[in-house]
Amino acid sequence: MKGINCNIIRDLLPSYVDNICCEDSRHLIEEHISGCEQCRTKLELLKSTELTDEGGEQKRISYLKKIKRHYDKGMISLVFLTLMVIGGFLFMIYNYGLAGSILPYIIFPLMLVAAYCLTPDSPLADKRTKFSGILVIGSILVSILMMIYYAVFVFQCSISTEKGETGLFGIPLYETGPYLEKRLIFMAVVQLGMFILSNILIFRGYRIHKSIHGLTLTGVWLAAGYICTLHNLSTVEGLYRLSAAMTVYFVIEGVVFSAAAFVFAKKVLK
């Protein structure tokens, strides 16, 4: 249409596409583009861009919903795993003799596999944090402290002969068992707390190395094993042998099954 500047029409095109222009402007634009190829091309480009933006918005909404579902499933898995670890810990302590000494070495790796497979990495895990290294080192130190603490106790029992002798940290020898058990339970709770915290940080988008699963659960299970030896053995010699064997077996299982579960979860489940 002659007499109408194309720049004026192009300024009106966004309003035309959004259906917010008046009827007179609409008729004017339609009359102009019927004879102006450049403005008609501009209009088609605006329409395609609008469609692309709507599609992109739908994709973003769909992606955010997927993230939310991932987070919800992760939290449900974390609650389930936490209850499973606590239940296994209590079952092992109070039913160790009845269930058989071989059962913990079967349940423990199953828990490790479940931890690695049911708690996947967050799709938004791009935030770096110092907590990753702190949690890993903290878990290792707590486990080492537990082993030293328990080894000192066993050594003290092996060299003590009288009931009234002073044991660990000035504690009477006959009270050392309950004293040590409380400390082992405390260390197990600390390990479980680090396990829960690490997973929450992962779901919140922080990059936490998943070796923390194997380290913390090994610590929890090792504490349970030590408590079982306190409950079910009456001789110092048997306590020493079983404690040493239990430490070696649980540590080896923790390393082997953590590595295997990590590879399986990463290659098969992703």
Instruction: Flag whether 191 is in a domain.
Output: yes
Which range, of 98-102, 179-183, 193-197, averages the lowest pLDDT? 98-102
Alpha carbon distances (Å) from 77 to 74, 133, 265 = 5, 24, 15
Question: Do 88 and 115 meet the contact criterion of CB atoms below 8 Å apart?
Answer: no
Q: Which structural domain, as residue segments, surrounds residue 85?
A: 64-267
Tell me how far apart the alpha carbons of residues 165 and 170 are, in angstroms, rounded to a whole number: 9
52 closest CA partner among 103, 8, 11, 17: 17
Whole-structure pTM value: 0.68
Number of structural domains the chain divides into: 1
Confidence (pLDDT) at 20: 77
* pLDDT tens-digit readout, 39-96: 887 877 777 665 444 555 565 566 566 666 767 777 888 888 899 899 888 888 887 7
Instruction: Flag whether 35 is in a domain.
Output: no
Q: How many other β-carbons are positioned within 10 Å of the β-carbon of residue 43?
A: 21
Confidence (pLDDT) at 1: 44
b/e per residue 6-19 (b: at least 16 CB within 10 A): eeebbebbeebeee
Confidence (pLDDT) at 191: 94
- pLDDT of 212 over the 70 cut: yes
Three-state secondary-structure class, residue 67 = helix
- pLDDT of 35 over the 70 cut: yes
End-to-end Cα distance, the chain:
59
- Those residues whose C-beta lies under 8 Å from the C-beta of residue 36, and which sit 6 or more positions away, are 1, 6, 9
Tell me how far apart the alpha carbons of residues 82 and 172 are, in angstroms, rounded to a whole number: 35
- Return the structure tokens found at 248: 């070696």
- Which residues lie across from 127 on neighbouring strands? 206
Instruction: Flag whether 256 is in a domain.
Output: yes
Tokens 């053995």, residue located? 233
Which range, of 132-141, 164-173, 220-229, 239-248, averages the lowest pLDDT? 164-173
Instruction: Flag whether 26 is in a domain.
Output: no
Confidence (pLDDT) at 235: 67
Instruction: Flag whether 170 is in a domain.
Output: yes
Question: Do 20 and 10 meet the contact criterion of CB atoms below 8 Å apart?
Answer: no
Average pLDDT over residues 208-222: 89
- pLDDT of 234 over the 50 cut: yes
Three-state secondary-structure class, residue 2 = coil
Instruction: Flag whether 189 is in a domain.
Output: yes
Average pLDDT over residues 254-258: 90
Average pLDDT over residues 170-187: 78
Angle between helical axes of 104-118 and 236-267 (0-180°, round to 10) = 30
Instruction: Flag whether 135 is in a domain.
Output: yes
Confidence (pLDDT) at 57: 54
Tokens 């690695």, residue located? 116
171 closest CA partner among 192, 188, 191, 149: 149
What confidence tier does 193 reach under pLDDT thresholds 50, 70, 90? Answer: very high
Higher pLDDT, 39 or 213: 213
- pLDDT of 105 over the 60 cut: yes
- pLDDT of 247 over the 90 cut: no
- pLDDT of 143 over the 50 cut: yes
